[in-house]
Amino acid sequence: MSDRMTTLNNRFGYAVSGEQRNKVLRNTYWLLALSLVPTVLGAWVGVALNLAPLFQGFLGLILFMAVAFGFIFAIERTKNSAAGVPVLLGFTFFMGLMMSPLISHTLGFRNGPALIMTAFGGTAGVFFVMATLASVIKRELEGMGKWLMVGTIVLLVGSVINVFVGSSAGMMAISMLAIGIFSFWMLYDLKRIIDGGETNYISATLALYLDIINVFQNLLALLGIFGGERD
């Protein structure tokens, strides 16, 4: 059995034991669950203080990008130290603040709370499906990462353009594309953890958190467009 595991590790270029992979996966799941608490708190604070104007328009996009990439850089710098988890949780709180415009808009519908719970349930369903696929797929998915990166860049460019254009059809197309791209990112990131390609649970949590948040936001946006009920 040990010889077979060594062969598998060498094949994928990883030299990580099954016990270590399971530990990384377990710690990632725990930290991922914990990271949702500051996210909910940040969203609540953002809605309560009406911080939506800060994250709207082109200037809001620039502010978000600057703060988000600053946090991501700090997380990667501290991921091997005791400061890594608090920095990550600070980032998830900020992401909750960033989502407050969408949450506020959704709560303006008569069925707003139901839409939020539906988006949460849908995102959980996507995660469950991708986690299942990642555990049963035997082939490596490293090649998928290149295509997903290209798709993400196209998505970012399209999102920036749509900020100026303000097209509802464009927003729907971007949201649907984002759900697809980040669902497959979820599969890719989970597979890397399972195969031993990611050995730091803070980095693993950050990757999966970004996948989940992007799926949730875009799913919620689509639900608001197609299922929002006005008074």
pLDDT at 214 over 50: yes
pLDDT tens digits for range 91-136: 999 999 999 999 999 999 999 999 999 999 999 999 999 999 999 9
pLDDT tens digits for range 142-177: 788 889 999 999 998 988 888 788 777 888 999 999
pTM, rounded to two decimals:
0.88
Contacts of 90 (CB under 8 A, 6+ apart): 38, 71
Indicate if the alpha-carbon torsion angle 122, 223, 108, 169 is positive or negative. positive
